Amino acid sequence: MDHHPFESEAGFAGLGLRAELLRALTNLGYEEPTPIQQEAIPPLVAGSDLVGQAATGTGKTAAFALPVLQGLIAGRSDVGPAALVLVPTRELAEQVSQAVHRYGRDLGVRVLPVYGGQPIGRQLQALQRGVDVVVGTPGRVLDHIERATLKLSDVRTVVLDEADEMLDMGFAEDIEAILAETPATRQTVLFSATMPPRIDSIARRHLRDPVRITMGRKAVAPGELPLVRQSAYVVARAHRSAALGRILDVEAPTAAIVFCRTREEVDQVTETLNGRGYRAEALHGGMSQDQRDRVMGRLRAGSTELLVATDVAARGLDVEQLTHVINFNVPSAPEAYVHRIGRVGRAGREGSAITLAEPREQRMLKAIERLTGQRITLEKLPTVTDLRARRLEVTRTSLQASLETDDLERFRVVLDSLTDEFDVENIALAAVKLLHEAAGGDREEDEIPTPVVPPEGRNAQNRDSRQGGRSSRGPDAGVARLFFGIGRRAGIRPQDLVGAIAGEAGLNSRDIGAIQITDRFSLVEVPEPAAEKVIAAMQRSTIRGRRPTVRRERFAR
Ligand code: AMP
């Protein structure tokens, strides 16, 4: 057997996780724990309570899910769930339960997402059959408790995920009521992207001696960072591969590394890029040193232009000629980003660092900017027209290079045999067309949609929209989108919001743009110059007798 340079399970095994879970992680292609997992898993496995400051993209889901699963193996109950995860939105409920299912597949773990809007019958059946982990939004979980269809007396671990979002959406009371139904001996875990005093207060009241974890606090010294152009594209997960291909077409890197999170992703991206005509090679921790050396040799010799790698595999890798580092997704910690981009822009050479982020991951981009003190410019994906123009440019450049350097004499017979019948200019045009097509320049492409950026991808179906189309394109430049932590459940109608904003902040109601009202929150577009004034005014006033959180929408571009 090959000696593997990376003991792929070592990182996770060192955290005290059981063999069944380590196997699941290896199968998923996870090579090493992310920083938050590194810090959170050991105390959670040991049974401590924990408060973690971590945003989407840090690997926080596995950080709490793996210890929960480990606990299930240790002592399974046949009746009620042993773990309850509370999340703010239905999307997150689905995502987290899928993650728990994937990590716990070999263990036969029964996990159930419960959220409003889903037929309750199906949830009831599953609950009656028995579940190990319930992942739900507070409102629906409380419904089940009140109907006596969910019994929390066997719960050993409660996780509050994205606690700040849950509070902003008005779930504070529901959370308190749910916690009161769980045994006082439970383990409680709280993850939140921000730590406002209200979160601290929940932690103080409901957690016992929690371990505290904060990510990405150390600023980077200016000299540590290379001078590279840093940019990011926000794309939905489904379009990420297509977006990557398009960006590479336009950037035309001489040599680039594309960083992925898992081995699976490395293989999939390599395949996609090769299908697009690139010479891409995979580099991951499952390969032997020998294989790695060969790949590196081909990159140095220029017969490979793209390396697709995990962090582990790229460690210690030093390639002089790298022009681009591309992050296929936001790295799991700001520090990892700094590490990655350190590979370009060596010795005063120009370099680019490009990051693809899902709408939900934009907060991580901000955390990286804070750490580095440098800006990451949000770019628009190249359109089909941009691509066509770029490909024609590539064709032109290749022709120019050939005219300048190639010996073309031997093709003269072809030309001569055609000039009797055709015009030289037309012959040239036909040759250009053939070259262009041969280089894949006429490939059909569809436009990649700009993602709608709801705050944390909240339930799009719950939305009302005052001006239909406009709101779905995301705010225009010069328009700020404000989050109001109050929605349909509090009886809010568009006119209430317009009335409050116009009345309290002195805005003309015509200046108020699209309004979306969901069950628990609303989004209102106002002119950017007035945004701060509106926020300040709302802090002094009430809407339908309440004083909701009003702030800028976090995930707006
Ligand atoms: P989260 O921050 O929990 O939303 O996770 C972000 C993404 O990272 C998810 O797609 C996970 O599947 C992935 N992920 C989590 N932990 C790891 C790890 N240790 N190695 C590679 N990918 C991971």
Q: What is the pLDDT along the chain (557 residues), one digit of tens a residue?
A: 333 444 444 589 899 999 999 999 999 999 999 999 999 999 999 999 999 998 888 999 999 999 999 998 766 666 679 999 999 999 899 999 999 999 998 888 999 999 988 888 888 888 888 899 999 999 999 999 999 999 999 999 999 999 999 998 889 999 999 999 999 999 999 999 888 999 999 999 999 999 999 875 566 666 667 678 899 999 999 999 999 999 998 888 888 999 999 999 999 999 999 988 888 999 988 888 888 889 888 888 888 889 999 988 887 777 777 889 999 999 998 888 988 888 886 655 678 999 999 988 988 999 899 888 889 999 999 888 888 888 888 888 889 988 988 899 999 999 999 999 999 999 999 999 999 888 777 777 788 877 765 443 333 333 333 333 333 334 455 788 898 988 888 888 888 898 899 888 888 888 888 888 887 888 898 988 899 999 999 988 888 888 888 988 765 43
pTM summary value: 0.74
Give residue 519's pLDDT.
Answer: 79
pLDDT for 72 equals 87
Instruction: Please give the pLDDT value at position 410.
Output: 92
Contact 103, 25 (CB under 8 A): yes
CA of 5 to the centre of ligand 1 (A): 23
Residue 38 Cα to ligand 1 middle (Å): 13
For residues 138 and 135, what is the distance between their CA atoms, to the nearest angstrom? 9
Give the Å distance between the CA of 80 and the centre of ligand 1.
28
Q: Residues with Cβ within 6 A of ligand 1? A: 30, 33-34, 37, 56-62, 261-262
Amino acid identity, position 251: E
Indicate which atom in ligand 1 lies nearest the CA of residue 56.
2
| Distance in Å, CA 29 to ligand 1 centroid | 11
Q: What is the pLDDT of residue 218?
A: 65
Q: Map 377-407 to HEC letters.
A: EECCCCCHHHHHHHHHHHHHHHHHHHHHHCC
pLDDT at residue 99, rounded to an integer? 96
Counting runs of H as helices and runs of E as strands, what totals does the chain give? 22, 19
In this structure, the residue with its CA closest to atom 16 of ligand 1 is: 59
Quote the pLDDT of residue 457: 37
Tell me which of 8, 22, 34 to substitute to probe ligand 1's pocket, judged by most ligand atoms within 8 Å of the beta carbon: 34
> Ligand 1, closest atom to CA 61?
3
Nearest atom (ligand 1) to Cα of 58: 2
Sheet holding 550-552, edge to edge: 464-465, 515-517, 522-527, 479-484, 550-552
Q: What is the residue with the minimal CA distance to atom 11 of ligand 1?
A: 59
Q: Please, are residues 135 and 85 in contact by the beta-carbon 8 Å criterion? A: yes
Atom of ligand 1 nearest to the CA of 99: 12
* Nearest alpha carbon, ligand 1 atom 20: 30
The phi and psi torsions of 379 (rounded to 5 degrees) equal -110, 160
Q: Helical H runs in 252-327?
A: 263-275, 289-301, 311-314
Residue 260 in contact with residue 309, Cβ under 8 Å?
yes
H-run or E-run covering 65? helix 60-74
Nearest residue to 140 via CA among 178, 110, 167, 176: 178
Between CA 511 and CA 519, with CA 515 as vertex, the angle to 5 degrees is 155
Q: Which atom of ligand 1 is nearest to the CA of 55?
A: 2
475 token code pair: 């705010």
Q: Which domains are delineated in the chain?
A: 11-215 (3.40.50.300), 228-382 (3.40.50.300), 385-403+412-437 (no CATH), 471-552 (3.30.70.330)
Measured by CA distance, the residue closest to atom 14 of ligand 1 is 59
CB-count burial class (<10 Å; 0-12, 13-18, 19+) for 410: exposed
In ligand 1, the atom with minimum distance to the C-alpha of 360 is: 4
